[in-house]
Structures are given as structure tokens and as C-alpha cells.
Amino acid sequence: MTSPDIDAGRLTLALSDLRLPAIKAIWPEFAARADKEGWPAARFLAALAEHEMAERARRRIQRHLDEARLLPGKTLDSFDFSAVPMISKAQVMALAAGDSWLEKGANLLMFGPPGGGKSHLASALGLALVENGWRVLFTRTTDLVQKLQSARRDLQLEAAIAKLDKYHLLILDDLAYVSKDQAETSVIFELIGARYERRSLLITANQPFGAWNSVFPDQAMTLAAVDRLVHHATIFEMNVESYRRREAIERKRGPGRPPTRATIKTSS
Ligand code: ADP
Ligand code: MG
């Protein structure tokens, strides 16, 4: 039972005006408990404040998740690290905390053939970072290039790039698929320059740097872009066979046979 000597309707309105929706929703329940259990007034007030804070944090993370456009269902839990033995799970977990690299605008680059788990790992890392309070945007590189190009046509390129500053991490998936024509690729060049040492990029690409001459319009631009990207960067070389293909092969082998990755490689 709530205390009879206050106007509950008026309190509810006040809590709305004060923008305390969590307290507004929970106070009757908390008050009833407090009365029943004889909580001191300060404890009751502290419990309400804590509740509002926790709800705010939850809503903020939910907003950041919605804006991040991550790939659905790709998590670090569902990522099979044994498929990419060259990558240390401990290192990925450390990156998922964010502090060590996002604070200084360092980058993460993932290279490897299609199907090796680059997009999965990038999105899963983005999810962990959002859950840890960072802001992330996952985008296919071609989509972002199109947006930035159209911004440039409206003489808004700088503003559009500045708007992306709110994201501590910008994930550019499939850099190599950007078309080779000069106009398109230079927006990526501008973006790399603008974020350099301030805001982080995570780039996935099927081709290593050697082939990036086909990504940027000329060699000087390629060199300058690569130079900035790698200056403070962690590089994951994910040179593994397609995960799906391998799974299919292992299924075909049937139970009782050792999986391909358990066999000892004698070559080299
Ligand atoms: P890439 O971006 O390198 O081409 P993807 O991340 O799109 O590869 O992976 C292709 C599919 O295989 C996705 O469904 C992904 O979830 C899955 N996959 C790839 N690697 C792994 C892995 N190590 N553990 C679990 N699933 C994986
Ligand atoms: Mg991919």
C-alpha cells in the first residue's frame, strides 16, 4: 500500500516533468516494500536513484546497439577461435574492453580470403564494445562510400565525416570491394585522414596491402593511406579456409573421423 498522505497522481506528473521514467514506473512497488519492511527514508531514496541510473545505462546501451547496425547473431561466444589459430582469443578479449586502443584512435585491420570470419569477428567485437559503453557503427564500405560521395556532391563531405566522430569505432567491412575510380576512393582517403590518431577504424579486406593499389586511385595515395592506418594498428591475418566450406567437409566425413583441423600438417 502506498502512503495515503500524498497525491499519487501529482507525484507521477512531477516524475514525468523531471524526466525520471524509471522511478515513475517503480515507486509504488518500492514504496510498498519500504513501508512493509520498514526501510529508512534515505535507503528508499537511494534505491530509487540507483534504479533510475541503471535504467538509463540500459537505455543508452540499447540506443547504441540500435544505431550500430551490427550483423545479427554474430557474437564472440559463437565465434570458433580454433578455426583461426593465428588469432589469440585473449588478445581479442582485451580489444573488446576498448580502452587500450579506442582512447588513442588506434586501428584494427583484418585480412583474409572470403569466408574466414572477418565480418563475424568484426561485428562481434563491435557488439562487445557497445556493451562496454563505446559507440560503434558497422557499415559495408561501399554503402559508406556512396553516402560520403553524395555528401560531397552537396559540398557536405567534411560535415558528414565530422558526424562520424561520435562513433569511437567505425567498422568498414570489405574495403577491397570499393570501386577503383578516383572520385569514389578519395572519400575513404579523406575519412582515414580525418580520423587519424583520433578515432579508430576497423577495416576488413580480402586483399592485403600489396593489392591496395587497386583500392586507391594512385600509388602515393595508397602509401599515405596505408601509412596512417598502420601507424597505430593491430593486424589480424586470417588466412584460413572458408569456415562454412570446412564445416561442410567435416560434416561429410561423418562422426568418428578426426576433423581436418586436428590433423598434423607435415608439409612445409
Ligand atoms: P568473411 O567476412 O571473412 O568473408 P564471414 O565472417 O562472413 O567471413 O564468415 C562466413 C560465415 O561463416 C558467417 O556465417 C560466419 O558467422 C561463419 N564463420 C566464419 N568463421 C567463423 C568462426 N571462426 N566461428 C564461427 N563462425 C564462423
Ligand atoms: Mg565479410
pLDDT at 263: 47
- Per the structure block, which three cell numbers stand in for 253? 566425413
- Per the structure block, which three cell numbers stand in for 238? 586470417
98 CB near ligand 1 (under 6 Å): no
| Ligand 1, atom 25: closest residue by C-alpha | 79
Task: Give residue 135 CA to ligand 2 midpoint distance, Å.
Answer: 21
> How many residues would you count in the chain?
268
- Specify the ligand 1 atom closest to the Cα of 121: 6
* Residue 264 pLDDT > 60: no
**Mean pLDDT within 149-155:** 93
Domains of the chain and CATH, by start:
4-66 (no CATH), 73-253 (3.40.50.300)
φ, ψ at 163 (rounded to 5°): -65, -30
Give the mean pLDDT of the chain: 90
80 CB near ligand 1 (under 6 Å): yes
* Residue 248 pLDDT > 90: no
6-64 pLDDT, tens digit per residue, is 899 999 999 999 999 999 999 999 999 999 999 999 999 999 999 999 999 999 999 99
209-232 pLDDT, tens digit per residue, is 777 777 787 888 889 999 999 999
Residue with cell 570501386: 179
Q: Write down the pTM of the prediction.
A: 0.85
User: How far apart are the C-alpha atoms of 23 and 18, rounded to whole Å?
Assistant: 10
Q: Pick from 117, 69, 115, 65: which is nearest to 89 by CA?
A: 117
Out of 75, 86, 120, mutate this one to test ligand 1's pocket (max ligand atoms within 8 Å of CB): namely 120
